[in-house]
Structure 1
Amino acid sequence: MVRPSSLKLPNKFLRKHRKWPLSPYKTKWHRNLNQQQAMQALKQAAERTTSAPPQENPSKHQQHHLLSTLIHSFNTYNCHPTPSAYHLVIKTLATTSQFHHIPPVLDHLEQVEKFETPECVFAELIGIYGNADKLREAVELFYGIPKFRCVPSVYSLNSLLSVLCGRSEGLRMVPQVLVKSQRMNIRVEESTFRILIGALCKIRRVGYAIELMNCVINDGYDIDVRICSLILSSLCEQNDMPSDAVMGFVKIMGKQGFSPGMIDYSTLIRFLVKKGKGVQALDILNTMKVEGIKPDIVCYTMVLHGVITEGHYERADEFGELSRMRVLLKEMGQKGVESNFRTYRIMLEGLVSKGEIIEASVLLEEMLERRFCTSRCATVDEVVLGLCQRGFTCKAVELVQKLVDKNVAPGAMAWEALLLSSGSKLTFSETILTGLVKVEPQTIAPI
């Protein structure tokens, strides 16, 4: 019979020789902790290096101080260095202008470490080399990225191209870099073309920039608004550039889906006025209004100057009146005088009477937004008719749609104008126009 007390006695032999399995989670936790402690020691050394005054003749030990600290710190905590540790060392050396200390760090990273080095380390160092005017070092680093167990991509290529394209010396290296990047199996992207086109525009090789952009479009890339704006700005900066060439570029890009913005229109107006094409600049101003872009006072002033310079005083008088009207409205608002339906209606009728249909359509949309147009009037029909007669049928359809959405019924004259012009010029779906005509009578305000 076994005594109960014997069951409670510990087995010292088993306790001494038993081997418990080591938890992998505990090992990973300890490793991370050790790496954090080693990294903290390295950061403290980097801070001391950054704050220390520069020495004229540093000793060999001081030259490799940070690299030695990196190795010693991680050995002390019995862990392997991390990519972040090398990144910190390289950034610190670059910040303190110790570029001649960077190659030993890279050599150690290449020959000793086994991890895959993140590409961001090299992309950032390429930019640092570029800012320090070390273009050769930047190119050599880019070529050597695969040696660090890293697959280079368009990310590092764009970093290098941005550096090279910023200097005339670097521009001469670009063709060789592009050829080499193909051998490195790097596929260029739209962002790469943007950098190259920007460089071509900067050195006034706009023709080559346009050819390159056409290649981009032919390769199936979507048109880039920033690229188009950059080329348009470069074209307008050329003193010997004919206005027909610039307008032709805008027309072609418009077919590709390019919609100029406020800055693009301002650039174009300034160019046309400079070329003595004030009336053409006035057309551009009207196009802005059709596109829903409100010109600022600078655009108005430039166009007014251009029209007067060409001797079109009658057009200038009408255009000065429009500008004063806008200024008057602004002053009324600043003085606390709120505009009402009667104010806008007087302005609308004045614009239509002078044939300023584009300006009238913009004002009418503003009235709709402010709910100042709650019922149909003959002036509204005249605006729709005027848009159709000037070839802006699509704009007329959009305006009618907005009128219907705001519970305002266009008259028979407006519908007739739309139907007559829709045969050859309407680009919207016919179902849209049909739907507008068949709006239920009870949903429209009474005439």
Structure 2
Amino acid sequence: MARSSSWHRMSNFFRKYRKIPHSSFKTKWNENLKQKYAMEELRSGLIADSGSNENDGVLRTLISSFRLHNCEPTPQAYKFVIKTLAKTSQLENIASVLNHIEISEKFDTPESIFRDVIFAYGFSGRIEEAIDVFFKIPNFRCVPSAYTLNALLSVLVRKRQGLKMVPEVLLKASKLGVRLEESTLGILIDALCRIGEVDCATDLVKDMSDDCYIVDPRLYSLLLSSVCKHKDSSCFDVIGYLEGLRKTRFSPDLRDYTAVMRFLVEGGRGKEVVSVLNQMKCDRIEPDIVCYTIILQGVIADEDYKKADKLFDELLLLGLVPDVYTYNVYINGLCKQSDIECGIKMMSCMEKLGSEPNVVTYNILIKALVKAGDMSRAKIIWEEMETNGVDRNSHSYDIMVNASIEADEVVCAHGLLEEAFSRSLVVKSSRTEEVICRLCDKGLMDKAVELLVHLV
């Protein structure tokens, strides 16, 4: 009896003071589970409706999927729907989805949704709509930042027409409180370099430095490569430009120096290339075989053959292994000095050192021999090409056809042209016309007609 009374008092105590547990249907894990099922329903619904272009059909599928599982649509669901619309080219339905988010939803919209919309509109040519979405972001309980601004700029800078809109967009973005970041300016600099506005890009990088932005060193390399691409290589002071960049604490690397060297060689300024090499050594940057090949090309173009010999010896002493391009440049220098024998010996050395001569190597030597009037030796080298498995190209045949014409060996020239045509190689039409005329002069009309058919 006492035990029953004690149990009764304890039961009353527990009933009075116990914590009432939450319903299992209201716990977070259960809500997540319902949202998961709703997303699966949504995916299935979108697949079923993939062939339909009905307006607002995707939005109705989204709402009904989550209503079926008694939960609210999530930002991730809207993000998935927008990506689906973009992939299926249903961009006209994105506006209704955004309108529903703005009016009917209460959550703070993630900025990534607007980034996806901007890309979808922008890459489809709907630039005005992409801009409009960006400036409406505050309406969606979201604060725009450089994250979405960068997305918009990436779209605008793809074409010159869009690039003209950038200043106005930046001005309006600043009024929204969007701060320009280094990445934002990097997008603009990359676009300016791409269209050749290198001076504007240089000024922008300078302004970044003056405003205490952290300038990515890759931007300096981008400026330098753009200068080498768009400026006049015959007169632009690229060395002075490089020195200006160095004053901003930019440390050029091997690739940067290589770009400058190639730029100078293209402009026929071989002597200046040597000064760039000396600066590299001062900066303790070891030039590679590509650098030496470019420098050799420059000094040989300037006919400074003693310097070329010195540079070739230097690269060997440094332990660099010449490749076929290096050998071709050096052999070309030897041939320009009329030292063809040394050029032929150098080709033999190439084979012993494991660098196989290519068609350019043979073309250089054959052209030099033809120019020297040694047609018999040129024909020997010509046959060696075939023996050594080196495929002749159009330039090879052009050299030999021209040599045959000058030697008044018209039948030989005709045979070479026929051989070139059989290998589907294109020979200068003027060269073919000349052979046709010579054949006609010699009364070889049948052969002339054959070539004329090929020419037509």
TM class, shorter-chain normalised? Answer: 0.5 to 0.7
1:32 maps to a residue whose letter is N
User: Residue 45 of structure 1 aligns to which amino acid in structure 2?
Assistant: G
In structure 1, what is the Cα distance between the partners aligned to 2:100 and 2:45?
19
> How many angstroms does 1:261 deviate by?
1.8
Q: Does 1:104 align with 2:82?
A: no
Deviation at 1:17, TM superposition (A): 12
User: Which residue of structure 1 lines up, in the alignment, with residue 368 of structure 2?
Assistant: none
Shift in Å, 1:21: 2.2
- What is the rounded CA distance, in whole Å, between the counterparts of 1:75 and 1:267 in structure 2? 62
Task: Please name the residue that 2:278 is paired with.
Answer: 286
How does the TM-score come out when normalised to structure 1?
Answer: 0.66
1:205 to 1:19, Cα distance in 2 relative to 1, 3 A: same
More divergent stretch after superposition (73-82 vs 109-118):
73-82
For 2:14 and 2:210, the matched residues in 1 are separated by 77
Q: CA deviation at 1:222?
A: 3.0
Q: Is the 8 A contact 1:223 1:257 kept in 2?
A: no
- In structure 2, what is the Cα distance between the partners aligned to 1:182 and 1:329? 56
Query: Partner of 1:351 in structure 2?
Result: none
For the 8 Å contact 2:228–2:260, the answer to whether it is kept is: yes
Q: Is the 8 A contact 2:146 2:184 kept in 1?
A: yes
Q: Is the 8 A contact 2:289 2:320 kept in 1?
A: no
Given the alignment of the two structures, is residue 21 of structure 1 paired with residue 20 of structure 2, yes or no? yes
Matched residues in 2 for 1:47 and 1:66: separation?
A: 10
Shift of 1:288: 2.6
Instruction: Report runs of 4+ in structure 1 exceeding 6 Å deviation.
Output: 5-20, 327-331
Alignment deviations for residues 283-313 of structure 1 (CA, whole Å, 9 cap, x no partner): 2223334434333322211110101111221
Q: Separation in 2 of the partners of 1:161 and 1:94?
A: 19
Q: Deviations over 1:180-224 (max 9, x none)?
A: 101111110111111111222222221111111111111112332
**In the aligned structure 2, how far is the partner of 1:190 from the partner of 1:45?**
43
Give per-residue Cα distances to partners, 1:319-350, cap 9 Å, x unaligned.
1122344567689xxxxxxxxxxxxxxxxxxx
Distance 2:27 2:270 in 1: 77
The counterpart of 2:136, out of the listed 133, 139, 144, is 144
Change (3 A) 1:187 1:125: same
- Provide TM-score, normalisation by structure 2: 0.64
Runs of 5+ in structure 1 lacking a partner? 332-447
Whether 1:127 aligns to 2:119 is yes
User: What residue identity is the alignment partner of 1:176?
Assistant: E
**Equivalenced residues, count:** 322
Task: Give the C-alpha shift of residue 104 in structure 1.
Answer: 0.7
**Inter-partner Cα distance in structure 2 for 1:157 and 1:195:** 11
1:307 aligns with 299
Query: Does structure 1 residue 322 correspond to structure 2 residue 321?
Result: no
AA aligned to 1:39 is: M
Aligned counterparts of 1:308 and 1:279: Cα–Cα separation in 2 = 10
Q: Alpha-carbon deviations, 1:128-174, whole Å to 9, x = none? A: 22221211111111111111111000111111011100112211211
Counterpart CA distance in 2 for 1:12 and 1:194 is: 72
Give the match for residue 93 of structure 1: 85
Asked if residue 274 in structure 1 is aligned to residue 273 in structure 2, the reply is no
Aligned-pair distance for 1:47? 3.8
The equivalent of 1:389 in structure 2 is: none
Deviations 1:30-84 (A, max 9, x none): 22221121122112223444xx4x45xx4xxx43222112111211222111100
The amino acid that maps onto 1:144 is: K
Residue 359 (structure 2) aligns with: none
User: 2:157·2:188 contact (CA, 8 Å) conserved in 1?
Assistant: yes
Q: 2:233–2:266: 8 Å Cα contact kept in structure 1?
A: no
Helix, strand or coil: the match of 1:116? coil
CA spacing shift, 1:328–1:267, aligned 2, 3 Å:
closer
Match of 2:237 in 1: 245
Alpha-carbon contact 1:223-1:256 (below 8 Å) kept: no
Task: State the distance in 2 between where 1:239 and 1:112 align.
Answer: 56
Q: Which amino acid is 1:23 matched to?
A: H
1:18 Cα offset (Å): 11
Per-residue CA deviation, residues 83-120 of structure 1 (Å, 9 max, x unaligned), is 00000000001100011111111110110001011101
Question: Which of 25, 48, 55 is 1:63 aligned to?
Answer: 55
Aligned with 1:75 (options 63, 67, 73): 67
Identity %: 42
TM-aligned CA distance change 1:156 to 1:131, over 3 Å: same
> Take 1:82 and 1:29, find their aligned partners in 2: how far apart are those partners?
15
Q: 2:220 aligns with which of 224, 228, 240?
A: 228
Q: Relative to structure 1, is the Cα distance of residues 254 and 242 closer, same or farther in structure 2, using a 3 angstrom cutoff?
A: farther
Q: Whole-Å Cα distance in 2 between the matches of residues 93 and 241 of structure 1?
A: 49
Structure 1 counterpart of 2:39, one-letter code: M
Shift in alpha-carbon separation, 1:243–1:169, aligned structure 2, 3 A: same
- Alpha-carbon distance change, 221 to 241 in structure 1, aligned in 2, over 3 angstroms: farther
Deviates more, 1:221-230 or 1:250-259: 221-230
Structure 2, unaligned runs of 5 or more: 324-456
CA contact (8 A) 2:55 2:93 kept: yes
Rate the CA distance shift 1:24–1:319 in 2: closer, same or farther, 3 A: farther
RMSD value over aligned CA atoms?
A: 3.0
Written as runs of structure 1 = structure 2, the 5 A alignment for 1:195-234 is: 195-234=187-226
The one-letter code matched in structure 1 to 2:43 is K
